[in-house]
Homo-oligomer: A and B are copies of this chain.
Amino acid sequence: MTEWERGDVRVPHIAMGEGGEFDTIRSLLSQWGTLAAGIGDDAAVFTPPDGEQLVFSTDTSREGVHFLAGWLTPEEVGARAAAAAFSDVAAMGARALAVLVALDVPESWREQLPRVAAGIGHVVHEADARIIGGNISRSDSFGLTLTVIGSTPAPVRRVGAREGDALWITGRLGGPGLALAQLQRGEAPGSEVRTRFARPMPRLREGSWLAAVGAHAMIDISDGLAADAAHLATASGVVCELWGDAIPRVANASVEDALASGEEYELLVATAPDMDADGFARRFGVPLTQIGVVRSVVPGETARVVLTHGDAGLVAARVDLPAGHDHFSE
- A56 at the binding interface (Cβ < 8 Å): yes
Q: Report if A173 contacts B (CB, 8 A).
A: no
Collect the chain B residues with CB atoms within 8 Å of residue A157's CB.
Answer: 14, 41, 45
The residue that A326 contacts in the complex, of B21, B45, B155, with Cβ under 8 A, is: B21
Q: A interface, by DSSP: helix, strand, loop or mixed?
A: mixed
Find A23's partner among B137, B219, B328 (CB 8 Å cutoff): B328
Stretch at the interface among A174-182, A188-196, A231-239: A231-239
Q: Is A15 an interface residue (CB 8 A)?
A: yes
B235 engages A15 (CB within 8 Å): yes
Q: Contacting A57 at CB < 8 Å: which of B42, B48, B88?
A: B42
Once A42-B91, A44-B55, A45-B54 are accepted as A-B contacts, the answer to whether A143 and B100 lie under 8 Å apart by CB is no
Residues of chain B within 8 A (CB-CB) of A137 are: 60, 62, 65-66, 327
What are 16 contact pairs spanning A and B, CB under 8 A? A14-B159, A15-B303, A20-B326, A41-B159, A43-B91, A43-B94, A43-B150, A44-B55, A45-B55, A46-B54, A57-B133, A58-B102, A60-B102, A60-B135, A60-B137, A102-B145
Determine the chain B residues whose CB is within 8 A of the CB of A246 once the complex forms. none
Indicate the size class of the contact surface on chain A: 35 or more
Minimum CB distance partner of A132 in chain B: B56
Nearest CB in chain B: distance from A294 CB, A: 15
- Check if A149 is an interface residue, CB within 8 A of chain B: yes
Assuming the A-B contacts A91-B42, A157-B14, A237-B15, are A328 and B149 also in contact, with contact meaning beta carbons closer than 8 angstroms in the complex? no
